[in-house]
Structure 1
Protein backbone atom coordinates (compact mmCIF):
# COMPACT_ATOMS: atom_id res chain seq x y z
CA UNK A 1 0.00 0.00 0.00
CA UNK A 2 2.81 2.39 0.84
CA UNK A 3 4.47 1.68 -2.51
CA UNK A 4 1.24 2.34 -4.38
CA UNK A 5 0.66 5.56 -2.47
CA UNK A 6 4.22 6.72 -3.13
CA UNK A 7 3.85 5.86 -6.82
CA UNK A 8 0.65 7.88 -7.07
CA UNK A 9 2.32 10.77 -5.26
CA UNK A 10 5.16 10.79 -7.79
CA UNK A 11 3.36 9.73 -10.97
CA UNK A 12 0.30 11.99 -10.66
CA UNK A 13 2.21 15.30 -10.70
CA UNK A 14 4.38 14.05 -13.59
CA UNK A 15 1.34 13.09 -15.67
CA UNK A 16 -0.33 16.41 -14.86
CA UNK A 17 2.84 18.31 -15.81
CA UNK A 18 3.15 16.48 -19.14
CA UNK A 19 -0.50 17.15 -19.90
CA UNK A 20 -0.08 20.85 -19.08
CA UNK A 21 3.00 21.12 -21.34
CA UNK A 22 1.17 19.36 -24.17
CA UNK A 23 -1.79 21.73 -23.84
CA UNK A 24 0.59 24.70 -23.72
CA UNK A 25 2.31 23.53 -26.94
CA UNK A 26 -1.04 22.97 -28.63
CA UNK A 27 -2.36 26.42 -27.74
CA UNK A 28 0.81 28.13 -28.99
CA UNK A 29 0.73 26.25 -32.30
CA UNK A 30 -3.02 26.45 -32.97
CA UNK A 31 -3.43 30.11 -32.07
CA UNK A 32 -0.01 31.14 -33.43
CA UNK A 33 0.98 32.82 -30.17
CA UNK A 34 3.97 35.11 -30.67
CA UNK A 35 7.19 34.34 -28.75
CA UNK A 36 7.16 37.72 -26.99
CA UNK A 37 3.81 36.71 -25.48
CA UNK A 38 4.89 33.21 -24.55
CA UNK A 39 7.17 30.79 -26.42
CA UNK A 40 6.31 27.14 -26.89
CA UNK A 41 7.67 24.47 -24.53
CA UNK A 42 9.65 22.97 -27.42
CA UNK A 43 11.35 26.31 -28.10
CA UNK A 44 12.13 26.74 -24.41
CA UNK A 45 13.45 23.19 -24.15
CA UNK A 46 15.65 23.75 -27.21
CA UNK A 47 17.08 26.93 -25.72
CA UNK A 48 17.65 25.13 -22.42
CA UNK A 49 19.45 22.28 -24.19
CA UNK A 50 21.69 24.68 -26.13
CA UNK A 51 22.93 26.60 -23.06
CA UNK A 52 22.82 24.22 -20.08
CA UNK A 53 26.23 25.28 -18.75
CA UNK A 54 25.33 28.98 -18.77
CA UNK A 55 21.99 28.36 -17.09
CA UNK A 56 23.63 26.11 -14.50
CA UNK A 57 26.31 28.69 -13.72
CA UNK A 58 23.71 31.42 -13.26
CA UNK A 59 21.52 29.15 -11.11
CA UNK A 60 24.47 28.17 -8.91
CA UNK A 61 25.34 31.80 -8.25
CA UNK A 62 21.74 32.71 -7.42
CA UNK A 63 21.52 29.54 -5.34
CA UNK A 64 24.62 30.45 -3.36
CA UNK A 65 23.23 33.89 -2.52
CA UNK A 66 19.92 32.28 -1.56
CA UNK A 67 21.70 29.70 0.60
CA UNK A 68 23.72 32.34 2.45
CA UNK A 69 20.57 34.38 3.01
CA UNK A 70 18.65 31.29 4.12
CA UNK A 71 21.28 30.32 6.69
CA UNK A 72 21.77 33.85 7.99
CA UNK A 73 18.08 34.69 8.19
CA UNK A 74 17.21 31.36 9.81
CA UNK A 75 19.90 31.60 12.48
CA UNK A 76 18.97 35.17 13.39
CA UNK A 77 15.26 34.35 13.27
CA UNK A 78 15.59 31.35 15.59
CA UNK A 79 17.82 33.23 18.06
CA UNK A 80 15.44 36.19 18.23
CA UNK A 81 12.47 33.86 18.62
CA UNK A 82 14.13 32.09 21.55
CA UNK A 83 14.95 35.44 23.17
CA UNK A 84 11.41 36.72 22.57
CA UNK A 85 9.99 33.57 24.18
CA UNK A 86 12.26 33.90 27.21
CA UNK A 87 12.21 37.69 27.72
CA UNK A 88 8.95 39.58 27.45
CA UNK A 89 10.72 42.90 26.76
CA UNK A 90 12.45 41.41 23.72
CA UNK A 91 9.09 40.10 22.50
CA UNK A 92 7.54 43.56 22.83
CA UNK A 93 10.46 45.17 21.01
CA UNK A 94 10.68 42.70 18.13
CA UNK A 95 6.94 42.60 17.35
CA UNK A 96 6.81 46.04 15.66
CA UNK A 97 10.21 45.43 14.06
CA UNK A 98 9.03 42.22 12.40
CA UNK A 99 5.77 43.87 11.34
CA UNK A 100 7.78 46.65 9.71
CA UNK A 101 10.12 44.25 7.92
CA UNK A 102 7.18 42.23 6.62
CA UNK A 103 5.84 45.18 4.62
CA UNK A 104 9.16 46.51 3.29
CA UNK A 105 9.32 45.68 -0.46
CA UNK A 106 12.42 43.97 -1.78
CA UNK A 107 12.54 46.40 -4.70
CA UNK A 108 13.19 49.20 -2.20
CA UNK A 109 15.84 47.35 -0.20
CA UNK A 110 18.02 46.09 -3.05
CA UNK A 111 19.13 49.49 -4.47
CA UNK A 112 19.82 50.79 -0.96
CA UNK A 113 22.02 47.80 -0.13
CA UNK A 114 23.87 48.11 -3.45
CA UNK A 115 24.72 51.68 -2.49
CA UNK A 116 25.85 50.62 0.98
CA UNK A 117 27.94 47.56 0.08
CA UNK A 118 28.95 48.28 -3.50
CA UNK A 119 27.46 47.41 -6.86
CA UNK A 120 30.05 44.71 -7.52
CA UNK A 121 29.40 42.71 -4.33
CA UNK A 122 26.88 39.94 -3.77
CA UNK A 123 26.27 41.13 -0.20
CA UNK A 124 23.13 43.09 -1.04
CA UNK A 125 21.44 40.07 -2.63
CA UNK A 126 22.33 37.87 0.33
CA UNK A 127 20.97 40.40 2.82
CA UNK A 128 17.73 40.78 0.87
CA UNK A 129 17.28 37.00 0.98
CA UNK A 130 18.14 36.94 4.70
CA UNK A 131 15.51 39.55 5.54
CA UNK A 132 12.87 37.68 3.56
CA UNK A 133 13.82 34.46 5.36
CA UNK A 134 13.93 35.99 8.83
CA UNK A 135 10.21 36.77 8.99
CA UNK A 136 8.66 33.29 8.45
CA UNK A 137 11.37 31.56 10.48
CA UNK A 138 10.97 33.96 13.40
CA UNK A 139 7.17 33.85 13.42
CA UNK A 140 6.89 30.07 13.09
CA UNK A 141 9.62 29.42 15.65
CA UNK A 142 8.05 31.81 18.14
CA UNK A 143 4.67 30.18 17.64
CA UNK A 144 6.21 26.77 18.26
CA UNK A 145 8.00 27.95 21.39
CA UNK A 146 4.65 29.02 22.81
CA UNK A 147 3.05 25.60 22.30
CA UNK A 148 4.49 24.04 25.46
CA UNK A 149 1.76 23.04 27.88
CA UNK A 150 1.72 24.81 31.26
CA UNK A 151 2.01 21.48 33.07
CA UNK A 152 5.35 20.83 31.37
CA UNK A 153 6.60 24.27 32.35
CA UNK A 154 5.49 23.67 35.95
CA UNK A 155 7.30 20.33 35.94
CA UNK A 156 10.57 21.97 34.86
CA UNK A 157 10.14 24.58 37.60
CA UNK A 158 9.61 21.79 40.12
CA UNK A 159 12.93 20.32 39.01
CA UNK A 160 14.54 23.77 39.51
CA UNK A 161 15.57 23.86 35.86
CA UNK A 162 17.04 27.08 34.54
CA UNK A 163 15.23 28.92 31.72
CA UNK A 164 17.83 27.68 29.24
CA UNK A 165 17.52 24.07 30.44
CA UNK A 166 13.74 24.22 30.10
CA UNK A 167 14.06 25.70 26.64
CA UNK A 168 16.59 23.09 25.49
CA UNK A 169 14.86 20.02 26.90
CA UNK A 170 11.17 20.85 26.54
CA UNK A 171 10.44 23.96 24.54
CA UNK A 172 12.74 23.44 21.55
CA UNK A 173 11.68 19.81 20.87
CA UNK A 174 8.02 20.88 20.90
CA UNK A 175 8.80 23.82 18.63
CA UNK A 176 10.88 21.81 16.14
CA UNK A 177 8.02 21.04 13.69
CA UNK A 178 7.13 24.73 13.58
CA UNK A 179 10.79 25.64 13.00
CA UNK A 180 10.97 23.30 10.01
CA UNK A 181 7.71 24.65 8.64
CA UNK A 182 9.14 28.16 8.70
CA UNK A 183 12.42 26.88 7.26
CA UNK A 184 10.59 25.14 4.40
CA UNK A 185 8.58 28.27 3.57
CA UNK A 186 11.71 30.40 3.81
CA UNK A 187 13.67 28.17 1.41
CA UNK A 188 11.50 29.21 -1.52
CA UNK A 189 11.44 32.83 -0.39
CA UNK A 190 15.23 32.89 -0.29
CA UNK A 191 15.47 31.89 -3.96
CA UNK A 192 12.76 34.32 -5.04
CA UNK A 193 14.28 37.20 -3.06
CA UNK A 194 17.81 36.60 -4.31
CA UNK A 195 16.53 36.41 -7.89
CA UNK A 196 14.39 39.54 -7.63
CA UNK A 197 17.30 41.48 -6.09
CA UNK A 198 19.34 40.72 -9.20
CA UNK A 199 16.95 42.79 -11.32
CA UNK A 200 17.82 46.03 -9.53
CA UNK A 201 21.56 46.33 -9.95
CA UNK A 202 24.67 44.64 -8.68
CA UNK A 203 27.04 42.36 -10.59
CA UNK A 204 26.03 41.27 -14.08
CA UNK A 205 25.41 37.65 -13.17
CA UNK A 206 22.76 35.39 -11.72
CA UNK A 207 19.47 34.16 -13.12
CA UNK A 208 17.67 37.49 -12.72
CA UNK A 209 20.20 39.43 -14.75
CA UNK A 210 20.33 36.64 -17.34
CA UNK A 211 16.55 36.83 -17.81
CA UNK A 212 16.75 40.61 -18.24
CA UNK A 213 19.58 40.30 -20.76
CA UNK A 214 17.74 37.63 -22.79
CA UNK A 215 14.54 39.67 -22.90
CA UNK A 216 16.39 42.85 -23.92
CA UNK A 217 17.88 40.93 -26.88
CA UNK A 218 14.41 39.54 -27.79
CA UNK A 219 15.53 35.98 -27.07
CA UNK A 220 12.32 35.07 -25.28
CA UNK A 221 12.81 31.32 -25.39
CA UNK A 222 16.16 31.68 -23.64
CA UNK A 223 14.60 33.98 -21.05
CA UNK A 224 12.00 31.32 -20.29
CA UNK A 225 14.76 28.71 -20.16
CA UNK A 226 16.37 30.75 -17.39
CA UNK A 227 12.98 30.93 -15.69
CA UNK A 228 12.90 27.14 -15.87
CA UNK A 229 16.33 27.04 -14.26
CA UNK A 230 15.07 29.28 -11.46
CA UNK A 231 12.07 26.98 -10.95
CA UNK A 232 14.34 23.94 -10.69
CA UNK A 233 16.53 25.84 -8.21
CA UNK A 234 13.54 26.70 -6.04
CA UNK A 235 12.33 23.09 -6.16
CA UNK A 236 15.77 21.87 -5.12
CA UNK A 237 15.78 24.18 -2.09
CA UNK A 238 12.27 23.11 -1.14
CA UNK A 239 12.99 19.39 -1.53
CA UNK A 240 16.17 19.57 0.54
CA UNK A 241 14.45 21.37 3.41
CA UNK A 242 11.51 18.95 3.18
CA UNK A 243 13.93 16.00 3.34
CA UNK A 244 15.60 17.52 6.41
CA UNK A 245 12.20 17.90 8.05
CA UNK A 246 11.31 14.28 7.34
CA UNK A 247 14.64 13.06 8.73
CA UNK A 248 14.22 15.17 11.86
CA UNK A 249 10.70 13.82 12.43
CA UNK A 250 11.92 10.24 12.01
CA UNK A 251 14.72 10.87 14.48
CA UNK A 252 12.23 12.25 16.99
CA UNK A 253 10.03 9.21 16.43
CA UNK A 254 12.90 6.83 17.18
CA UNK A 255 14.13 8.85 20.15
Structure 2
Protein backbone atom coordinates (compact mmCIF):
# COMPACT_ATOMS: atom_id res chain seq x y z
CA UNK A 1 0.00 0.00 0.00
CA UNK A 2 2.85 2.37 0.81
CA UNK A 3 4.42 1.62 -2.57
CA UNK A 4 1.18 2.54 -4.32
CA UNK A 5 0.90 5.73 -2.29
CA UNK A 6 4.49 6.61 -3.13
CA UNK A 7 3.83 6.06 -6.83
CA UNK A 8 0.72 8.22 -6.66
CA UNK A 9 2.62 11.02 -4.90
CA UNK A 10 5.29 10.84 -7.58
CA UNK A 11 2.94 10.80 -10.58
CA UNK A 12 0.13 13.06 -9.35
CA UNK A 13 1.96 16.45 -9.26
CA UNK A 14 3.26 16.34 -12.87
CA UNK A 15 -0.12 15.00 -14.05
CA UNK A 16 -1.96 17.86 -12.37
CA UNK A 17 0.55 20.34 -13.80
CA UNK A 18 0.07 18.90 -17.31
CA UNK A 19 -3.71 19.12 -17.07
CA UNK A 20 -3.45 22.69 -15.80
CA UNK A 21 -1.15 23.71 -18.65
CA UNK A 22 -3.46 22.17 -21.25
CA UNK A 23 -6.48 23.91 -19.73
CA UNK A 24 -4.64 27.23 -19.66
CA UNK A 25 -3.55 26.70 -23.27
CA UNK A 26 -7.12 26.01 -24.42
CA UNK A 27 -8.44 28.94 -22.42
CA UNK A 28 -5.85 31.32 -23.88
CA UNK A 29 -6.64 30.19 -27.44
CA UNK A 30 -10.40 30.71 -26.92
CA UNK A 31 -10.30 33.96 -24.92
CA UNK A 32 -7.55 35.64 -26.93
CA UNK A 33 -8.88 34.23 -30.22
CA UNK A 34 -5.41 33.12 -31.28
CA UNK A 35 -5.40 32.14 -34.98
CA UNK A 36 -4.72 28.45 -35.70
CA UNK A 37 -1.63 29.27 -37.77
CA UNK A 38 -0.13 30.86 -34.65
CA UNK A 39 -1.21 28.24 -32.14
CA UNK A 40 -4.08 25.76 -32.50
CA UNK A 41 -5.94 24.70 -29.38
CA UNK A 42 -5.51 21.34 -27.66
CA UNK A 43 -9.10 20.37 -28.51
CA UNK A 44 -8.47 20.81 -32.24
CA UNK A 45 -5.18 18.93 -32.01
CA UNK A 46 -6.81 16.08 -30.08
CA UNK A 47 -9.57 15.86 -32.72
CA UNK A 48 -6.97 15.56 -35.50
CA UNK A 49 -4.99 13.08 -33.43
CA UNK A 50 -8.02 10.80 -33.13
CA UNK A 51 -9.07 11.18 -36.75
CA UNK A 52 -5.60 10.54 -38.19
CA UNK A 53 -4.38 8.09 -35.55
CA UNK A 54 -3.58 5.34 -38.06
CA UNK A 55 -1.48 7.52 -40.43
CA UNK A 56 0.26 9.05 -37.41
CA UNK A 57 1.09 5.62 -35.99
CA UNK A 58 2.35 4.47 -39.40
CA UNK A 59 4.52 7.55 -39.87
CA UNK A 60 5.82 7.31 -36.30
CA UNK A 61 6.78 3.68 -36.92
CA UNK A 62 8.83 4.68 -39.99
CA UNK A 63 10.57 7.50 -38.13
CA UNK A 64 11.17 5.22 -35.15
CA UNK A 65 12.71 2.53 -37.35
CA UNK A 66 15.09 5.01 -39.00
CA UNK A 67 16.02 6.48 -35.62
CA UNK A 68 16.55 3.01 -34.13
CA UNK A 69 18.85 1.97 -36.97
CA UNK A 70 20.76 5.23 -36.61
CA UNK A 71 21.03 4.80 -32.84
CA UNK A 72 22.26 1.23 -33.20
CA UNK A 73 24.82 1.88 -35.94
CA UNK A 74 26.04 5.21 -34.58
CA UNK A 75 26.21 3.84 -31.03
CA UNK A 76 28.20 0.76 -32.02
CA UNK A 77 30.61 2.83 -34.12
CA UNK A 78 31.06 5.35 -31.31
CA UNK A 79 31.78 2.69 -28.68
CA UNK A 80 34.19 0.76 -30.92
CA UNK A 81 36.15 3.84 -31.93
CA UNK A 82 36.31 4.98 -28.30
CA UNK A 83 37.72 1.59 -27.29
CA UNK A 84 40.41 1.84 -29.95
CA UNK A 85 41.17 5.48 -29.12
CA UNK A 86 41.51 4.66 -25.41
CA UNK A 87 43.97 1.87 -26.22
CA UNK A 88 46.03 3.66 -28.90
CA UNK A 89 47.13 7.25 -28.40
CA UNK A 90 47.76 7.67 -32.13
CA UNK A 91 44.15 6.85 -32.95
CA UNK A 92 43.01 9.20 -30.18
CA UNK A 93 45.12 12.03 -31.60
CA UNK A 94 43.85 11.43 -35.12
CA UNK A 95 40.20 11.04 -34.12
CA UNK A 96 39.97 14.08 -31.82
CA UNK A 97 39.97 16.78 -34.55
CA UNK A 98 37.69 14.71 -36.78
CA UNK A 99 35.12 14.21 -34.02
CA UNK A 100 35.34 17.90 -33.10
CA UNK A 101 34.71 18.88 -36.72
CA UNK A 102 31.85 16.41 -37.01
CA UNK A 103 30.20 17.82 -33.89
CA UNK A 104 30.19 21.26 -35.51
CA UNK A 105 28.64 20.08 -38.77
CA UNK A 106 24.85 20.51 -39.03
CA UNK A 107 24.30 16.90 -40.01
CA UNK A 108 20.67 17.51 -41.02
CA UNK A 109 21.99 19.80 -43.77
CA UNK A 110 23.63 16.70 -45.25
CA UNK A 111 20.23 15.16 -45.95
CA UNK A 112 19.78 16.66 -49.45
CA UNK A 113 23.26 15.51 -50.44
CA UNK A 114 22.62 12.03 -49.07
CA UNK A 115 19.28 11.85 -50.91
CA UNK A 116 21.11 12.51 -54.18
CA UNK A 117 23.58 9.74 -53.32
CA UNK A 118 21.10 7.09 -52.17
CA UNK A 119 18.07 8.11 -54.19
CA UNK A 120 15.04 10.22 -53.32
CA UNK A 121 12.96 7.14 -52.53
CA UNK A 122 15.44 5.65 -50.06
CA UNK A 123 15.32 5.85 -46.27
CA UNK A 124 19.10 5.35 -46.02
CA UNK A 125 19.84 9.08 -45.92
CA UNK A 126 17.71 9.49 -42.80
CA UNK A 127 19.43 6.58 -41.09
CA UNK A 128 22.86 8.04 -41.89
CA UNK A 129 21.84 11.45 -40.53
CA UNK A 130 20.60 9.87 -37.30
CA UNK A 131 23.76 7.75 -37.00
CA UNK A 132 26.02 10.78 -37.38
CA UNK A 133 24.06 12.65 -34.70
CA UNK A 134 24.36 9.66 -32.36
CA UNK A 135 28.04 8.95 -32.95
CA UNK A 136 29.52 12.09 -31.37
CA UNK A 137 27.92 11.97 -27.87
CA UNK A 138 28.37 8.19 -27.61
CA UNK A 139 32.02 8.40 -28.61
CA UNK A 140 32.84 11.29 -26.26
CA UNK A 141 31.05 9.83 -23.23
CA UNK A 142 32.46 6.35 -23.79
CA UNK A 143 35.99 7.68 -24.15
CA UNK A 144 35.59 9.71 -21.00
CA UNK A 145 34.33 6.67 -19.14
CA UNK A 146 37.24 4.53 -20.29
CA UNK A 147 39.61 7.12 -18.80
CA UNK A 148 37.95 7.16 -15.37
CA UNK A 149 39.87 4.20 -13.93
CA UNK A 150 41.90 5.37 -10.94
CA UNK A 151 45.70 4.94 -11.17
CA UNK A 152 45.68 2.98 -7.91
CA UNK A 153 43.39 0.40 -9.50
CA UNK A 154 45.65 0.08 -12.51
CA UNK A 155 48.68 -0.34 -10.23
CA UNK A 156 46.87 -2.99 -8.21
CA UNK A 157 45.96 -4.99 -11.31
CA UNK A 158 49.52 -4.67 -12.57
CA UNK A 159 50.85 -5.91 -9.24
CA UNK A 160 48.49 -8.89 -9.47
CA UNK A 161 49.83 -9.65 -12.95
CA UNK A 162 46.41 -9.20 -14.54
CA UNK A 163 46.29 -9.38 -18.32
CA UNK A 164 44.91 -6.43 -20.33
CA UNK A 165 41.77 -8.46 -21.03
CA UNK A 166 41.26 -9.17 -17.34
CA UNK A 167 41.84 -5.53 -16.44
CA UNK A 168 39.28 -4.44 -19.03
CA UNK A 169 36.71 -6.97 -17.83
CA UNK A 170 37.15 -6.31 -14.10
CA UNK A 171 37.74 -2.56 -13.92
CA UNK A 172 37.79 -0.58 -17.18
CA UNK A 173 34.51 -1.67 -18.80
CA UNK A 174 32.40 -1.66 -15.57
CA UNK A 175 33.69 1.84 -14.82
CA UNK A 176 32.87 3.05 -18.33
CA UNK A 177 29.35 1.54 -18.51
CA UNK A 178 27.50 4.45 -16.81
CA UNK A 179 29.18 6.89 -19.20
CA UNK A 180 28.26 4.74 -22.21
CA UNK A 181 24.61 4.73 -21.20
CA UNK A 182 24.66 8.46 -20.52
CA UNK A 183 25.82 8.96 -24.09
CA UNK A 184 23.16 6.58 -25.38
CA UNK A 185 20.43 8.32 -23.38
CA UNK A 186 21.37 11.69 -24.86
CA UNK A 187 21.81 10.19 -28.30
CA UNK A 188 18.39 8.49 -28.25
CA UNK A 189 16.61 11.85 -28.37
CA UNK A 190 19.08 13.19 -30.95
CA UNK A 191 18.43 10.18 -33.17
CA UNK A 192 14.68 10.88 -33.26
CA UNK A 193 15.13 14.63 -33.75
CA UNK A 194 17.64 14.12 -36.56
CA UNK A 195 15.45 11.54 -38.30
CA UNK A 196 12.42 13.86 -38.13
CA UNK A 197 14.29 16.93 -39.37
CA UNK A 198 15.95 14.95 -42.16
CA UNK A 199 12.45 14.13 -43.39
CA UNK A 200 11.83 17.85 -43.96
CA UNK A 201 14.42 17.97 -46.74
CA UNK A 202 12.90 15.45 -49.14
CA UNK A 203 12.92 11.71 -49.58
CA UNK A 204 9.88 9.43 -49.46
CA UNK A 205 6.70 10.75 -47.89
CA UNK A 206 6.64 8.22 -45.10
CA UNK A 207 7.93 9.64 -41.81
CA UNK A 208 6.49 12.09 -39.31
CA UNK A 209 8.59 15.01 -40.54
CA UNK A 210 7.33 14.79 -44.11
CA UNK A 211 3.70 14.74 -42.93
CA UNK A 212 4.31 17.74 -40.68
CA UNK A 213 5.57 19.80 -43.61
CA UNK A 214 2.69 18.62 -45.83
CA UNK A 215 0.06 19.49 -43.22
CA UNK A 216 1.61 22.88 -42.51
CA UNK A 217 1.86 23.67 -46.23
CA UNK A 218 -1.85 22.88 -46.55
CA UNK A 219 -2.70 25.15 -43.59
CA UNK A 220 -3.82 22.13 -41.53
CA UNK A 221 -2.00 23.40 -38.46
CA UNK A 222 -3.84 21.27 -35.92
CA UNK A 223 -3.02 18.19 -37.98
CA UNK A 224 0.63 19.24 -38.14
CA UNK A 225 0.69 19.50 -34.35
CA UNK A 226 -0.92 16.05 -34.13
CA UNK A 227 2.02 14.65 -36.08
CA UNK A 228 4.37 16.61 -33.80
CA UNK A 229 2.81 14.74 -30.87
CA UNK A 230 3.58 11.51 -32.71
CA UNK A 231 7.23 12.53 -32.95
CA UNK A 232 7.27 13.45 -29.25
CA UNK A 233 5.85 10.03 -28.39
CA UNK A 234 8.65 8.34 -30.36
CA UNK A 235 11.28 10.45 -28.59
CA UNK A 236 9.84 9.62 -25.17
CA UNK A 237 9.74 5.93 -26.08
CA UNK A 238 13.41 5.95 -27.08
CA UNK A 239 14.47 7.83 -23.95
CA UNK A 240 12.47 5.48 -21.72
CA UNK A 241 13.85 2.39 -23.45
CA UNK A 242 17.48 3.49 -23.04
CA UNK A 243 16.86 4.50 -19.42
CA UNK A 244 15.35 1.09 -18.62
CA UNK A 245 18.22 -0.68 -20.40
CA UNK A 246 20.70 1.39 -18.39
CA UNK A 247 18.98 0.50 -15.12
CA UNK A 248 18.84 -3.20 -15.98
CA UNK A 249 22.49 -3.44 -17.06
CA UNK A 250 23.95 -1.37 -14.23
CA UNK A 251 21.93 -3.30 -11.69
CA UNK A 252 23.66 -6.50 -12.81
CA UNK A 253 27.10 -4.89 -12.90
CA UNK A 254 29.48 -6.57 -10.47
CA UNK A 255 30.70 -4.54 -7.52
TM-score, length-scaled by structure 1: 0.96
Three-state SS of the structure 2 residue aligned to 1:33 is coil
Pairing 1:109–2:110 present: yes
Matching of residues 1-255 of structure 1 within 5 Å: 3-252=4-253
Contact 2:86 2:147 (C-alpha < 8 Å) held by counterparts: yes
Measure how far apart 1:25 and its partner are: 0.3
Measure how far apart 1:118 and its partner are: 1.2
Contact 2:107 2:132 (C-alpha < 8 Å) held by counterparts: no
Three-state SS of the structure 2 residue aligned to 1:224 is helix
Contact 1:86 1:163 (C-alpha < 8 Å) held by counterparts: no
**Higher mean Cα deviation, 137-146 or 99-108?**
99-108
Three-state SS of the structure 2 residue aligned to 1:252 is coil
Deviations along 1:92-130, one digit per CA (max 9) or x if unpaired, are 011101101101113321111111111111111001000
Three-state SS of the structure 1 residue aligned to 2:161 is coil
In structure 2, the gaps of 5 or more residues are none
Measure how far apart 1:8 and its partner are: 2.8
Structure 2 CA distance, aligned partners of 1:5 and 1:98?
44
In structure 1, the gaps of 5 or more residues are none
Q: Note the aligned Cα RMSD (angstroms).
A: 1.4
Distance change in 2, residues 1:107/1:190 (3 Å): closer
**Structure 1 segments (4+ residues) deviating >4 Å:** 1-5
Structure 1 CA distance, aligned partners of 2:4 and 2:157?
43
Measure how far apart 1:2 and its partner are: 5.5
Structure 2 CA distance, aligned partners of 1:166 and 1:117?
43
Measure how far apart 1:249 and its partner are: 2.3
Contact 1:85 1:91 (C-alpha < 8 Å) held by counterparts: yes
Measure how far apart 1:5 and its partner are: 4.2
Instruction: Figure out how many residues of one structure are paired with residues of the other and give that number.
Output: 254
Distance change in 2, residues 1:233/1:138 (3 Å): same
Three-state SS of the structure 2 residue aligned to 1:148 is coil
Deviations along 1:213-251, one digit per CA (max 9) or x if unpaired, are 111111111000000111111001001111111112221
Structure 2 CA distance, aligned partners of 1:163 and 1:72?
27
Contact 2:111 2:129 (C-alpha < 8 Å) held by counterparts: yes
